[in-house]
Chain A
Amino acid sequence: MVSGDPQVFEITWLTLRVTGVATLISVVIGIPLGTLLALRRFIGQRTLMALIYTGMGLPPTVVGLWVSLFLWRTGPLGALRLIYTPTAMVIAQAIIAVPLVAGLTVAALQQLPPKLRLQVMALGASRWQLIRLLLREARLGLLAAVMAGFGGVVSEVGAASMVGGNILGETRVLTTAIMLEVSRGHFDLALALSFILLALAFAVIALLTTAQQRRRPA
């Protein structure tokens, strides 16, 4: 299974799919949520923000346990039969990544000069125009938020193994495969997988960084 094996390719491909979809979901939820928290005032806002900042350090094993409890056949969502599927892994990883993306979105928007907002509003911009403009100004921070979300899910193993079950050909991703190969004493193979994981993470982050730095303000 060491080099050029279809199993390794399959595991890598699944890792990319699961983390990609989880990151996408976390962006779709996290950026609007972060924007709302940064730009609007409402009751419970500070509490929600504290919760999100706490969630940025949410241990994946804790998420894995909670999601398992819900998805087990005996759990409230057991009828969906999602436990031990890639979908379950996506759900758990999205939960891990949403606070990261939302929290960094808040930070990115709040560090824009406060006067900018007043100026734009004074120029008669509608609310949507304002949000678009602010998001555009904060794009460097937003891309950092996406990277943090991706980094959070591609590296975690606790939730993936708990809700995925580490099933060969179905839910075995790079991190859980590394754990298994270490426990099998196949350190060479585990090492090879770890390099693949690092290369994968580097490729994705490099792509995002290129996008981010191309338009860096002077």
Chain B
Amino acid sequence: MRRKNQRAGWTRVLLPVMILLLLALAAGCSGQEQGGSTAPQEPEAAGNASPPVAAGQPAGAERSSQDVILATTTSTADTGLLDALQPLFKEKTGYNLKPIAVGTGQALQMGRDGNADALLVHAPASEKELVDDGIGIDYRLVMHNDFIIVGPAGDAAGIKGVSDAAQAFSRISQGRATFVSRGDDSGTHKKEKEIWGKAGIKPAGDWYVQSGEGMGQTLTIASEREGYTLTDRGTYLALKGNLRLEILVEGDPVLQNIYHVMRVNPEKFPNIPINSKGGKAFVDFMVSPEIQKFIVNFGVDKYGSPLFFPDAGKEQAS
């Protein structure tokens, strides 16, 4: 019969699949040789007998402890600051920064569980617990920007120019004007809850929308629904071009947004390989004069003003 023919057909069918998959595998391998661009600690790399330290990296950085996991906030990712710092950190220290941008609540929890080596966060009250518990060490002030209350130009609740953030929140809730909350226990959300607390209001009702998203996404939702929201100035400036939101309230001392860096104390996690040297290197990196200068210049070319103001060395705001 046409058995032979059929067999050839089967191979013909299989061939492209095999080629595709081989290609994928080859890609997986060739990627390892590039070293720098891909994670150097992938186990597949073991079969390639690549040198323990990728070329071009300063000696002394051990392969096993090259990665520094940084738990940080969405605002540092949404503004693009992290993407800019990542290669600089590698260049200066040889360590490979792995920034995981989550809400400050989750970032602090990652530190508490020993799932991060360093934290860059902005919720001083919650950070203090971590530091008091001895988990967060080398706790340093890095930079600040401020929170602002933004809303539609129409300003139905009439908060424009109000100097007291709590009073502005009262007017929003009295007017039942749409307010979009992060609702994700992030630093911004914690700040928002602090202001509601000051105003003596428990926000609830259909005017109070909880996005559960990062700052950028929340701003977009507020813009689309013509609502108010609390945002850090950096993310707002970075996204301003796409938003129909204006700055309505600013300058209240409660609206300060302060970023601290800290590393996770390895002694608290004897069974977990915390990269304490790498964590220390990141803390030192963030407060170094060079990076502080980089921070104050970051975003100026694009947005006309800095997104963050360096504070290292100034008195701790706690």
Residues of A whose CB lies within 8 Å of any CB of B are: 10, 13-14, 16-17, 19-21, 23-24, 27, 72-74, 78-87, 136, 139, 143, 146, 165-171, 180, 182-185, 187, 204, 207-208, 210-212, 214-215
Contacts and interface: CB of A to CB of B under 8 A. Distances in A.
Contact of B77 (A17, A19, A136, A180): A180
Contact of A214 (B13, B20, B99, B241): B13
Given A72-B113, A165-B100, A183-B220, 9 more contacts: A17-B31, A73-B274, A169-B37, A169-B38, A180-B78, A185-B242, A208-B20, A211-B13, A215-B13
A155 B146 CA distance: 37
B243 A16 contact: no
Contacts of B99: 165, 167
A170 B213 CA distance: 23
Interface residues of B, number: 55
Contact of A20 (B9, B20, B215, B220): B20
A136 B8 CA distance: 11
Given A184-B216, A185-B216, A214-B13, A21 B115 contact: no
B23 A20 contact: yes
B24 interface: yes
8 contacts: A20-B27, A21-B25, A84-B98, A86-B38, A86-B39, A87-B42, A167-B100, A170-B38
A183 B216 contact: yes
A146 B39 CA distance: 27
Nearest to A6: B37
B24 A24 contact: yes
Contacts of A167: 86, 98-100
B218 to A, nearest CB: 9
Contacts of A79: 273
Given A84-B100, A185-B220, A185-B239, A16 B77 contact: no
Contacts of A165: 98-100
A74 B42 contact: no
Contacts of A86: 38-39, 42
Interface in B112-161: 113-115
B12 interface: yes
A211 B21 CA distance: 14
Contact of B43 (A14, A20, A87): A87
B24 A184 contact: no
Interface string B1-40: 0000010011011011100110111011001000001110
Contacts of A21: 24-25, 28
Nearest to B99: A167
A82 B86 CA distance: 20
Nearest to A75: B115
A73 B9 CA distance: 49
A139 B12 CA distance: 11
A143 B13 contact: yes
Contact of A183 (B12, B42, B217): B217
B78 A16 contact: no
Contacts of B113: 72, 74
Pairs of residues from A and B, 8 with the lowest C-beta to C-beta distance, nearest first: A20-B24, A183-B216, A185-B239, A185-B242, A211-B16, A24-B21, A17-B27, A85-B39
